[in-house]
Amino acid sequence: MTAASITVSETPLVLYTLRRADDALILGHRLSEWCGHAPAMEEDMALANMGLDLLGQARELYTHAAKVEGQGNDEDKFAYLRDVRQYRNLLLLEQPNGDFARTMTRQFFYAVFADLYWRAMMASRDTTLAAIAAKAEKEFAYHVRHSSEWMIRLGDGTEESHRRAQTAIDDLWAFTGEMFSVDDAERGLIDAGIAVDPATLRSRWLKIVSGVLHEATLILPENDWMQKGGRDGRHSEHLGHLLSELQSLPRTFPGAMW
């Protein structure tokens, strides 16, 4: 017996909230894959801690989405009982960990964005989202500092660490544009003061990212072709593998408790 996927009434606010919840869950899950494998004890704890921050944010966002939706779904159903096409996270965040430089580059690109984003979201007219934002922005402030320091150490480190960091930047760059994209569903929420327009954060993001990369002696890619699709459920093959691991137990043993 396996549990079937739920259906979700994706009103704009439900969809919006699920997108952010999925971002947090998927990146948090990726970071948790490092547990026990990081290059040093301190890093193992750091990655697990950041994963925990993200998992906590995901839980609060899913709970809010469930309340807004009002169809009897909850955080567990959203996480465990939606299939890959129902996931709404950014493509950047589902990309495999790769080496440590790749994980840090993904973290750096996203944390700089998320810190700016949630700080702006503290002014949301949705008081629950504003409260979640107030916590998340402080958590991301630490993630930004951590990943920035690593970018500099890797880029300005050995020839090999520099090469690995630059390769990760070049490979992941095309996934950064999706962070700033807006569709009609979100445009209405932005106009209503519930959501923030991420496009307004792009120049500040670029300034921070290029500043750190410059200090790290790393090069910011110039190509501006950007890959999109995650927000609409069109994912890379990597997300399916991630979800099959994440969901296997609750799908196989519905309602299992321990």
Q: Among 52, 190, 208, 246, which residue sits at the site for another protein (rule: CB under 8 A)?
A: 52
Q: Is 79 in the site for another protein (CB under 8 A)?
A: no
Query: Looking at 50-58, 186-194, 237-245, 249-257, which segment touches another protein (CB under 8 A)?
Result: 50-58
End-to-end CA distance of the chain: 19
Burial class (CB in 10 A: 0-12, 13-18, 19+), 171: middle
Q: Is 53 in the site for another protein (CB under 8 A)?
A: yes
Measured distance CA(81)–CA(86) in Å, rounded: 9
Sign of the CA dihedral with 53 first, then 56, 62, and 68 last: negative
One symbol per residue from 144 to 183: x for binding another protein (CB under 8 A), - otherwise; what is it? -xx-------------------------------------
Measured distance CA(19)–CA(26) in Å, rounded: 11
Tell me how long the chain is: 258
Cβ proximity to another protein: between 127 and 203 the closer is 127
Amino acid at 170: D
Q: Is 139 in the site for another protein (CB under 8 A)?
A: yes
Binding-residue total with another protein (CB under 8 A): 29
Q: Is 29 in the site for another protein (CB under 8 A)?
A: no
Token pair of 201 as six digits: 């954060």
Closest CA to 57 of 120, 115, 2, 112: 115
Q: Among 134, 192, 220, 249, which residue sits at the site for another protein (rule: CB under 8 A)?
A: 134
The residue ranges that bind another protein (CB under 8 A) are 42-43, 45-46, 48-50, 52-57, 59-60, 127-128, 130-132, 134-136, 138-139, 141-142, 145-146
